[in-house]
Amino acid sequence: MPLPEHPLARGKRFAGYGLLTNACLAVIKGLAGILGHSYALIADAVESLADIGGSLVVWTGLHLSARSADAEHPYGHGKAEPLSAALVGLMLTGAALGIMAKGAQQVITPHNAPAPFTLIVLVLVIVVKETAFRTVLKVAGDVGSGAVVADAWHHRSDAITSAMAFVGISAALIGGPGWEWCDGAAAMIASLIIGFNGYLILRPAVHELMDGAPTSAVLDGVATAAVGVKGVLRIEKLKARKVGTRILVDLHVQADPAISLQEAHILSGCVKTAIRTALPAVENVLVHMEPFEDPRHLPVVLDSPGPPAGG
């Protein structure tokens, strides 16, 4: 029976598929835009070129993130994953600004109406990119990777750009002479959506790079697993941070002060096992054992549930 594919390897594989898809579509849209006199379609091709760069960044980030810890990086290379997502977000934002400027220029400057065949190209692109978005987003959920999520939304932003181009070209063709500006206007509207998608990708990536706390559901799951271990009377100072697709946890555990050092060591191991069993994404748990000093407190009390969920 073949071994299950590593999550990061799966993410890299789909990033590679996205790279190939974007390269083919960029060529098709670029040629159709030039031959069909459509700036919205040319802008769409430029966005696909940005997608190629984004897929390369995601693939590189996942490749680096999969490396084992070493002397220079004792906590591993997981930060490469949110860093790549942040770069993709910045690339989307930059592409949006460029498309906005060129679209405005096309609205102001008279130009030929787009050719009808460009609509057929756009329908094909929308179907391909929306399918890619749904497929990659499901993979991102399975592997827990923000970078793969960013790659999925790159596909969705391309589908949106193509849809806006379809609307603009259709309006220009139906309206006839004097309506050619709709082509550039469609590109401007698409740029706003692309820029917003860039922000949605950039915000959680920066949160993770700043060692922001994971969601409250993760912290609650850690707390529940820890206090469920026999011998744990209280936990406090629970902290966690996400590093790539993995989670690192620190917490203090209070137990009966009469137990031996050996028993405390075994108890801390049981807490680690319970947490990692309940939350497979948790890679490392650092447990600091303390004596339970205040018998007035009820057992199984969580002093610090941690900060609220980040973006």
Condensed to tens digits (0 to 9), the pLDDT of residues 239-298 reads 998 887 788 999 999 998 888 999 999 999 999 999 999 998 888 899 999 998 765 554
Number of C-beta neighbours around residue 123 at 10 A? 12
Residues 16-64: tens digit of each pLDDT? 676 777 788 888 888 888 888 777 777 777 767 766 776 677 777 777 7
Residue 310: predicted pLDDT: 46
Residue 202: predicted pLDDT: 86
Residues 70-126: tens digit of each pLDDT? 777 777 777 777 888 788 888 888 878 887 887 787 788 766 777 888 888 889 888
Residue 8: predicted pLDDT: 57
Q: Architecture of domain 216-302 in CATH?
A: 2-Layer Sandwich (3.30)
Answer whether 59's CB lies under 8 Å from 12's CB: yes
Residue 1: predicted pLDDT: 44
Is 178's pLDDT higher than 50?
yes
Question: CA separation (Å) from 174 to 111, 121, 169, 187, 207?
Answer: 16, 18, 9, 18, 46
Domain with CATH 3.30.70.1350 in the chain: 216-302
Give the C-alpha separation, 87 to 197, whole Å: 13
Domain with CATH 1.20.1510.10 in the chain: 7-209
Dihedral (CA of 274, 255, 299, 309) sign: negative
Bridge partners, 226 (sequence order): none
- Classify domain 7-209 by CATH number: 1.20.1510.10
Is 163's pLDDT higher than 80?
yes
Phi first, then psi, for residue 71 (nearest 5°) are -60, -35
Q: HSE on the CB side for 47, CA within 13 Å?
A: 41
- The pTM is what? 0.63
